[in-house]
Amino acid sequence: MGTLYEIASTPAAYATRPALRGDAMFAGGPVCIPFGPGRLQHCVLWQPATLRHEAPVFWFHGGGFVVGTPESMIDAARVYCSQGYRFVSVGFGLVPGVRFPAQVDDAYAGVGAALAWLAEHGCTAPQVVVGGSSAGGQLACLLGYSGALAASHGFDQRRVAAVVSSAAIVDADDLELRPLPTAHAWRSCVDLPCDAHDRGAIHQALLPFSPVAIVGEKNGGDGAEPGSWLPPFFSVEGRHDTLSPYAHQMAFARALDAAAGRPIAHMEVIDNPRWQHMIGTVTIYRHDPRTFPPLVRLFGWLGALGL
């Protein structure tokens, strides 16, 4: 029934209007920062009318790596800019035209290009916030917690000061979308060194891209011990979400706390059966950050971190 409600709730999710409208929170129009020849290989930067925080926010949109554009994150941009943050929405290629895990490569390339652009224009903040919705949240978690991917992409993982999730895919096995009949079609868009019908082999192939599996691996640069660089994590999750299961989110949070040796994961759990995946990932940034409790606590959490 959860999957049926998920499908039925999608039109309502997209119909919900944002609490913040207009462009009063922006300083000028959005800036496009290309990092490749592909149609979606670009970032979109929104700058706040009043800059209050040096650390920029990098965001990856949801859509299961199948739909979405960097421009689609305008509601999130309004919210973060209203709080005084620079907001960068990072694009990436979509399946079936661009097979997974090329999206991971795009994530690193996009962040690198945007950081270079910001540095050229006077923003030399030593640390950043990364975040994302659903599949985009998976990319954010990989940037924040995968030492192996950071090393292979030449990315200084110590620049990530915090990771923010809106129903992130933290277990890559969920990419199979098992409740839906499109699972095999999706797997056909993944570069797998195995039979697309072999679930065991698929699991092994996806492990390097599964945030819950890579927590605690060597990260933070040369000479770092496993788990020595783990940025704090803030997640907004629906307890009844069928596509990003609550149990997987809690397992990820526990793994982070265990690897860090202290509590670093904050779970903002919404215990409402109607807060399904599309509602959570599409509409969360259509609420007023001054009055919607999860957003009030998110920005309080970032402030407590000095970000």
Please check the confidence at residue 97 and state whether its pLDDT lies above 60. Answer: yes
pLDDT score for 206: 84
Copy the structure tokens of residue 70. 């960097």
CA triple 296-212-86, angle to 5 deg: 40
Query: Residue 99: which of 198, 197, 1, 187 has the closest Cα?
Result: 187
pLDDT score for 301: 98
pLDDT score for 193: 58
Q: Average pLDDT in the 36-61 region?
A: 97
Q: What is the DSSP letter of 43?
A: E
Q: Average pLDDT in the 12-37 region?
A: 77
Query: Residue 118: which of 54, 181, 202 has the closest Cα?
Result: 54
Copy the structure tokens of residue 217. 């691996």
pTM above 0.85, yes or no: yes
Q: Give the domain range for residue 279.
A: 2-304
Q: Average pLDDT in the 44-50 region?
A: 97
Q: Average pLDDT in the 295-306 region?
A: 98
What are the pLDDT digits (tens) for 214-223? 986 655 555 4
- For residues 166 and 23, what is the distance between their CA atoms, to the nearest angstrom? 24
- For residues 56 and 281, what is the distance between their CA atoms, to the nearest angstrom? 21
pLDDT score for 79: 96
What is the domain-level CATH number for residue 50?
Answer: 3.40.50.1820
Q: How far is CA 17 from CA 22, 125, 155, in A?
A: 12, 33, 37
Domain count, the chain: 1
